[in-house]
A = this chain, B = another copy of it.
Amino acid sequence: MHGTPINREHCRRLDADDPLARFRGRFAASKENRIFLDANSMGKMAATVPERMSRFWTEAWVDLGRQGWNQFEWLERPAQIGAAFAPLIGANPEDVLACDSTTINLYKLLTYAWRTRNSGSVILTEQGNFPTDLYVAQGLPGVIVGDPTVKTCETRAALVEAIGPDTAVVYLSHADYRTSERWDMADINARAHAVGAVTVWDLSHSAGAVPVDLMGTDADYAVGCGYKYLCSGPGGPAYLWVHPRHGDAAWPTIAGWMGHEDVFAFAKQYGPLPGAARHGAGTPLVIANEVAWCAAEIWQEVDPRQLWDKHRALGDLLIALLEQECGALGVEVNSPRDYDERGGHIGFSHPGAGPVVEALLAANVVGSFRRPNAIRFGLGALYISHEDIWEAVARLRHILETESWRDPKFQKVSV
């Protein structure tokens, strides 16, 4: 594939051999067949959502009201969705719970990891961690008992260097939200355990795209976003995972009725459920869960190995085409070329990145912009074809060649 230039026919042949091609039709088609290279921001909608939710409004809410608790599995959904995601992250199904937002779940598990630590006094993280992850940690000193120190390293090398006897928790995003750089999870888990520390991983930019193996790499805790690669819907439920060895180590930080061992007993005294379920806290996000369930039903049918293979092929193709078609037009790929070192999106730079993303949107290619000059294409391997990649790069090339991105209408850059 690297000897002669890649062409559209080549991409079509790859699509013809794609064992996941059948999943494309399981997601809703958008107007003008927009190409969504935006799975790092918002995954596509399962095609079943409108019909299922139509029924939900009438049958579950209007006609049944609170009876939905009994007749629609509203209480079971958090564990069911978690179980559907589990193979994508190398987890046992019973250790994953869909609930709340990523931020709330980061708070729950980072504080839990801290409270049940073996030793050390430092929560160790890197400057490149996603801002909300950093903020959650910054909020803990003076609030959570045990006087945690948050140490934020400027580089990955510095972080690896800093793991030591004073480390209590290593707290990282598995893949960087800007560059897509992926940590070697097994290596970091081993280094942390060697000094008695535990790890808390944010999987938002890796799970559902590239291999994650929480049990196999011996991780301790993880959380992730539901609405990116996992397609749970805007503001939909995030998820959390607790290694079974830590499941019963302490009460959850936020002790709520959904984490109670007998929720409808209305007991006056708290007593936690076993394992991850104790972190359930408040009433499940019933409506949002029902939407997420539409995607989870698809994930239940997906072989993770096929998903990862296809994501790898899409990413390799995108990098090759960006260089072949746009390399002479100012595009530079920033994400790692080595598949094992990158997450769900491919990042590349261009001096006009913001307006270019707006011009792409006008050409029905959805990417995203991050200051100062980065463009991200997030790859949803269940619904993106190889030919989509060809077509998106062709449109990008046209925008760069014609310099149409300099049009004043593209200078107002959206988030």
Contact = CB atoms under 8 A, between A and B. Distances in A.
Nearest to A378: B66
A53 B225 CA distance: 22
Interface stretch (A133-141, A188-196, A394-402): A133-141
Contacts of A36: 65
Contacts of A370: 266
Contact of A282 (B30, B58, B132, B267): B132
A368 interface: yes
Chain B CB within 10 A, most for which of A101, A144, A270: A101
A61 B74 contact: no
Contact of A63 (B34, B115, B225): B34
- Determine how many copies of this chain the complex contains: 2
Nearest to A252: B139
A103 interface: yes
Interface in A375-406: none
A74 B251 contact: no
Interface string A223-235: 0010100000111
A66 B53 contact: no
A134 B238 CA distance: 25
A288 interface: yes
A285 interface: yes
In this complex, the interface size class of chain A, counting residues with CB under 8 Å from chain B, is 35 or more
Interface string A120-145: 00000001000110111011001111
Given A67-B414, A135-B259, 4 more contacts: A42-B65, A60-B234, A115-B143, A131-B257
Given A65-B36, A65-B42, A144-B143, A235 B285 contact: yes
A38 interface: yes
Contact of A234 (B61, B70, B127, B227): B61
Nearest to A69: B415
B135 A260 contact: yes
- List of 4 A-B pairs having minimum Cβ-Cβ separation, nearest first: A101-B282, A103-B282, A235-B286, A139-B255
B65 A366 contact: yes
